[in-house]
Amino acid sequence: MNDAEPFDAAPQGPWSRFARAFDARAGSRWAWRALLLCIGLAVLAPWLANERPYFVSLRDAQGYREALALLEPVSRGFVRETLAAQAAGGAVARARSAAERRALEHALASVERGLGGESAALPARDALAAIRASLREFEAAAGAGDAAAIAAGAVRLQDSIASASRPLALRSAQEPAGVELVAQRSWPLLAALSAADLIALCLWLGLVGWGTWTRCLPRRTLLARGLFLLLASAALGGCLALALPKPPTQVGESWAARVAADPHSRAVFAPIAFGPNQTDLQAATQAPSWGASAAEHGRHWCGTDALGRDQLARLLHAGRTSFSVALLASALILGIGAALGLCAGALRGFADFAVSRLIELLQAFPTLVLLLGLISLLPSSAANSRWTVPLVIAAIGWTHIARLARAQALRVRESDFVRAALAAGFSPARVLWFHVLPNSLGPVWVAASFVLSAGLVLESSAAFLGFGVQHPAPSWGGLLAQARGGDAWWLALFPGLWLFAAILCIHLVGEGVRDALDPRDETRAP
């Protein structure tokens, strides 16, 4: 948001008045910016901490050797599955044959790409052409169903691959007539990003630049702008995911080792050139290195764990797990709690009785104990899913929101404007949707930020005790659990500080929301 005009002139709806009241407080603005920074570090984690380079130009000798070595076993598997499909038939046999065919084509494409395609040496191009010609002959024979032709085609395919070993071999002192690889340019990090990563990035950038791009929608309310941001982020992220190329196949050593193996390579790595699960036992339990000189195994700003994994990289990626679980749980809690509370307060009768008794039943147990008990009753496959914790948190954490919504709905239901609407002949459903609902959500929005912090604490507590997202996927609670029983102080300090900062920012934002919605506050915008 911009200091000068974070919320421009817009229709004086309740959302716009709330935005102006919230922005009028300096503490709320800075807390919101700090929270955006915490979320942004989690959203940008693949860009900031990744073993894949942004851009790389190298001659991948190891990948070429492995692709060349795969030609013979993959071709044998393709011939075997094709013969089985011809003999037995069936969809399963044909699917296996098609999978082996794709694997063979992928290996051939990798070899051809490493040689530079059409710019490869003539012997290498002839060898690849012979393999593809033999492959076409074998497929034609298999399609015709001639057993003798199939057997002859299989022999020719194997012979062509075996005879191509020398003209396709790498140039070396022992094989001076071999080939030399051509440098390949690619964008591994960008190609590895998923649609969810790109949608989250677009959404976060839209929130950061809210005060700038919302000037293009001067006649829209805050709610309309938010919906536009959600839809635009989803559309733009999906289009970017379709436009980006497929990630290159990672074979053998890490990208750093492959770049170091080629003296003529060029690569641009992320600021933290380590992945969250990249291990290096030689750098295990290394203290934070803040000096000017790089450490022997690379500079680790927050140290490493017992497996040599960079702690800062795991902290950034752990924020993605913790925030995603907390945000999903909070959204479900708000939806379930507000719906049940409004129905109980507006409809009364049996609906109010059932919801009230269910609230009392769930609140009779400590939240964390009930959360762990429900997760422990699930099968291991479901308990270890990243979707289990937010769903269970939502199933037991909606009671406070429901009580607030119910109490507010009971108060609004007896208001004069609601009675006037009913007396005017409006249907109860219309009165509930257009009169009771909008005027009952004030306390719900105040409690929303505190629900988010509670979800973050519950997720971290469950991960600390070994429930929810399992190793090696990082989460802040899981990182704190790894620090138990050791002398590596940095393993507990940095995750604890990060979690404390996130929860503090959420609570300060919640205080700002509460003050902005307080009708008794004289500084509140009219």
Are residues 295 and 289 in contact, defined by beta-carbon separation less than 8 angstroms?
yes
Residue 15's pLDDT is what? 64
Let me know if the fold of 60-163 is the same as that of 311-516. Answer: no
Look at residue 141 and tell me whether its pLDDT is greater than 60: yes
Most confident of 95-109, 262-276, 510-524: 262-276
Give the confidence band of 45 by pLDDT, cuts at 50, 70, 90: very high
Q: Does the structural domain 311-516 have CATH classification 3.40.605.10?
A: no
pLDDT in tens, 215-245: 777 777 767 888 888 898 889 988 988 888 7
Residue 204's pLDDT is what? 92
Three-state SS for 40-105 is: HHHHCHHHHECCCCCEEEECCHHHHHHHHHHHHHHHHHHHHHHHHHHHHCCHHHHHHHHHHHHHHH
Region 358-371 average pLDDT: 87
**What kind of architecture, by CATH, is found in domain 60-163?**
Up-down Bundle (1.20)
Residue 315's pLDDT is what? 93
Residue 166's pLDDT is what? 74
Distance separating alpha carbons of residues 5 and 95, to the nearest angstrom: 60
Give the confidence band of 526 by pLDDT, cuts at 50, 70, 90: very low
Residues facing 310 on adjacent strands: 304
For residues 219 and 213, the model is more confident at 213
Using a pLDDT cut of 90, give the percent of the chain over it: 9
pLDDT in tens, 187-200: 888 888 888 899 99
Most confident of 98-102, 290-294, 314-318: 314-318
Region 194-212 average pLDDT: 88
Note every long-range contact of 445-449, with CB atoms under 8 Å and residues 24 or more positions apart, other chains counting. Answer: 445/513, 445/517, 446/510, 446/513, 446/514, 446/517, 447/400, 447/401, 447/404, 448/330, 448/334, 448/510, 448/513, 449/506, 449/507, 449/509, 449/510, 449/513
Residue 2's pLDDT is what? 45
Tokens of 523: 């500084």
Residue 253's pLDDT is what? 61
Give the confidence band of 177 by pLDDT, cuts at 50, 70, 90: low
Look at residue 297 and tell me whether its pLDDT is greater than 80: no
Residue 175's pLDDT is what? 47
Look at residue 449 and tell me whether its pLDDT is greater than 60: yes
Look at residue 374 and tell me whether its pLDDT is greater than 90: no
Interior/surface letters 89-118, b for 16+ CB within 10 angstroms, e for the rest: eeeebbebbeebbebbeebbebbbbbbbee
Residue 522's pLDDT is what? 47
Residue 290's pLDDT is what? 67
pLDDT in tens, 46-102: 999 998 899 888 887 777 777 888 888 888 888 887 777 777 666 777 788 788 888
Torsion of CA 103, 106, 111, 112, to 10 degrees: 140
For residues 289 and 474, the model is more confident at 474
Are residues 29 and 23 in contact, defined by beta-carbon separation less than 8 angstroms?
yes
Give the confidence band of 159 by pLDDT, cuts at 50, 70, 90: confident
Residue 250's pLDDT is what? 52
Distance separating alpha carbons of residues 11 and 14, to the nearest angstrom: 9
Mean confidence (pLDDT) of the chain: 80
Look at residue 9 and tell me whether its pLDDT is greater than 70: no
Region 454-478 average pLDDT: 84
Residue 42's pLDDT is what? 92
Ranges of each domain in the chain: 60-163, 194-243, 311-516
Look at residue 251 and tell me whether its pLDDT is greater than 80: no
The pTM of this model reads 0.79
Distance separating alpha carbons of residues 255 and 253, to the nearest angstrom: 7
Most confident of 64-68, 170-174, 245-249, 301-305: 301-305
Residue 43's pLDDT is what? 93
Look at residue 6 and tell me whether its pLDDT is greater than 70: no
Residue 14's pLDDT is what? 63
pLDDT in tens, 384-405: 777 888 888 988 888 888 888 8
For residues 345 and 248, the model is more confident at 345
Most confident of 47-56, 115-124, 337-346: 47-56
Distance separating alpha carbons of residues 275 and 189, to the nearest angstrom: 11
Residue 301's pLDDT is what? 86
For residues 441 and 398, the model is more confident at 398
Look at residue 525 and tell me whether its pLDDT is greater than 60: no
Give the confidence band of 39 by pLDDT, cuts at 50, 70, 90: very high
Report helix, strand or coil for 185.
strand
Residue 4's pLDDT is what? 41
